[in-house]
Chains A and B, each alone.
Chain A
């Protein structure tokens, strides 16, 4: 829809950059998952590299919008959407940062849950990309946002389970507990942010009708 109504070259550049932004988030989520699966702290550096790349794409998008792309009433919503996606990058980067300070190995049960959440986060990023594409074709956006909400519910279920396991876990000192708690909080926050982003896609879709 965006493409048909506002098909200028600056608009197209913004659209392409937004797609690149989500793809970069998807790559970062994938990289995070692999790092967690292999328990490789060095592998996690790719997350902060991709987050920086995401930052630069976000700046580019916002600059292009304020240079005149899109009608003014649409600009705020598009900018807000991009900022929400950027929050997902931040949560992912923070989770990767805390991961570096986690102990040598998480208990198998907790680790398995974390990997499952990381996997769902990655699938949510992919679904967000699909949902964004729907703005330009005849696909059903409602169907995609529902899929994102289903994923988020799955993460929520695992999160409650994980927290109840963590409450029984003994920690050696303040920092061990704090780092583990922050790691889980950031890891589970990503899905909330992606859900918010998908809600914004819905708002953008409505505002263009």
Chain B
């Protein structure tokens, strides 16, 4: 199975100078666990901020949610793979880099994201379909 078959196209972005509080609000409203962080300028690249980053890098350290900026805890660069790659390859990358989501790109354009939950769901559906007549 190819990654673009199971990816989520819903990508929410946030500015690097937005506060962590804004990021939390956005994640809760949209029921998502990560946000794509926009580049600050032409020389910058996209990054990602996750719930995990917020918990371990901000909440656990008791930092001020309104004063801490998204850009301060953003992970860069994105781990990005081509839309035609196999899901297995994405899972290998997740294992290698100890991450739970991989971005899907077409050239420089970010098309979507796949998370561990997407991988698990698609694998369960695949098994349920293949199990026919077992």
CA of A126 to CA of B121 in the docked complex: distance in angstroms?
A: 17
In the complex, are the beta carbons of B134 and A147 less than 8 A apart? no
CA of A126 to CA of B125 in the docked complex: distance in angstroms?
A: 11
In the complex, are the beta carbons of A140 and B131 less than 8 A apart? yes
Q: Say if the beta carbon of A110 comes within 8 Å of chain B.
A: no
In the complex, are the beta carbons of A137 and B124 less than 8 A apart? no
Tell me the B80-134 residues at the A interface (CB within 8 Å).
121, 124-125, 127-129, 131-134
Q: Say if the beta carbon of B67 comes within 8 Å of chain A.
A: no
Q: Say if the beta carbon of A130 comes within 8 Å of chain B.
A: yes
What residues of chain B lie closer than 8 Å to A137, measured between beta carbons? 133-134
CA of A134 to CA of B125 in the docked complex: distance in angstroms?
A: 15
What residues of chain B lie closer than 8 Å to A151, measured between beta carbons? 125
Q: Say if the beta carbon of B61 comes within 8 Å of chain A.
A: no
* Contact string against B for A residues 45-58, beta-carbon threshold 8 Å, 1 for contact and 0 otherwise: 00000000000000
* Min CB gap B74→A, angstroms: 24
- Is the interface on chain A under 10, 10 to 19, 20 to 34, or 35 or more residues? 10 to 19
**Given A143-B127, A161-B10, also A130-B121 (CB < 8 A):** no
Nearest A residue to B134 by beta-carbon distance? Answer: A139
In the complex, are the beta carbons of B131 and A144 less than 8 A apart? yes
Among B10, B121, B131, B133, point to the contact of A150 (Cβ < 8 A).
B121
CA of A143 to CA of B125 in the docked complex: distance in angstroms?
A: 8
In the complex, are the beta carbons of B132 and A130 less than 8 A apart? yes
In the complex, are the beta carbons of A127 and B128 less than 8 A apart? yes
* Min CB gap B111→A, angstroms: 13
What residues of chain B lie closer than 8 Å to A133, measured between beta carbons? 132-133
Among B10, B31, B128, B133, point to the contact of A146 (Cβ < 8 A).
B128
* Min CB gap A165→B, angstroms: 11
* Min CB gap A3→B, angstroms: 13
CA of A154 to CA of B121 in the docked complex: distance in angstroms?
A: 10
Q: Say if the beta carbon of A138 comes within 8 Å of chain B.
A: yes
CA of A179 to CA of B132 in the docked complex: distance in angstroms?
A: 39
Nearest B residue to A148 by beta-carbon distance? Answer: B128
In the complex, are the beta carbons of B132 and A147 less than 8 A apart? no
Nearest A residue to B126 by beta-carbon distance? Answer: A147
CA of A130 to CA of B133 in the docked complex: distance in angstroms?
A: 8
Nearest B residue to A142 by beta-carbon distance? Answer: B128
* Min CB gap B27→A, angstroms: 14
In the complex, are the beta carbons of B133 and A143 less than 8 A apart? no
Among B31, B121, B129, B133, point to the contact of A127 (Cβ < 8 A).
B129
In the complex, are the beta carbons of A139 and B132 less than 8 A apart? yes
CA of A150 to CA of B120 in the docked complex: distance in angstroms?
A: 10
Among B10, B31, B121, B128, point to the contact of A143 (Cβ < 8 A).
B128
Q: List 17 A-B contacts (CB under 8 A).
A: A126-B129, A127-B125, A130-B129, A130-B131, A130-B132, A133-B132, A133-B133, A138-B134, A139-B134, A140-B131, A144-B128, A144-B131, A146-B128, A147-B124, A147-B128, A147-B129, A150-B124
**A interface residue numbers (CB < 8 A to B):** 126-127, 130, 133-134, 137-140, 143-144, 146-147, 150-151, 154, 157, 160-161
